[in-house]
Amino acid sequence: MAAYILVDSQLTNPELYESYKLIARPLVESYGGEYLSRGGPISLKESKLWTPTRMVLLRFPSVEVAEQFYNSAEYQEALKISAQSSERTFMILEGV
C-alpha cells in the first residue's frame, strides 16, 4: 500500500534551503519516492485547524519505505540543513 509524505514548510533561509533540496531529491528517488507537488500554488478552501504555507507531497511504495527514507543516516544529515533554513510540519500518511 502506498504512503504519502506531506510537508508544510516556511522557509527562513531560502538560499540555504536550495542545498537541502539538492540533497533531498536524489535521496527520495533512491527510496522509490516521487514528488507529486513541490511548493506550488495552494487553493485553500478551509483552514480551521491549520493554514499551510508551502506544501510538498511525495509518494512512496509503502509506509515502511517512507519511514526508512526519513530515518536514514543520509536524510538525517539533510535535515540539519532543513532545520537551519526552514520551519516545518512533516507527516507520513498511509495511502489507499
Q: What is the pLDDT of residues 63-88, one digit of tens each?
A: 999 999 999 999 999 999 999 999 99
Q: Considering the entire predicted model, what is its pTM?
A: 0.93
Q: Going by C-beta distance under 8 Å and a sequence separation of 6 or more, which residues neighbour residue 6?
A: 55, 56, 57, 90, 91, 93
Domains of the chain, residue spans = 3-41+53-94
> Using an 8 Å Cβ cutoff, are 33 and 66 in contact?
yes
Pick the CATH number of 3-41+53-94 from 3.40.50.300, 3.90.1210.10, 3.30.70.100, 3.30.420.40: 3.30.70.100
Q: What is the pLDDT of residues 21-75, one digit of tens each?
A: 999 999 999 999 999 999 999 999 999 999 999 999 999 999 999 999 999 999 9
Is residue 96 pLDDT above 90, yes or no? no
CA distance linking residue 70 with residue 47, whole number of Å: 27
User: How high is the pLDDT of residue 27?
Assistant: 98
User: How high is the pLDDT of residue 63?
Assistant: 98
Establish how many alpha carbons lie within 13 A of residue 48's alpha carbon, considering only the half-sphere containing its beta carbon.
0
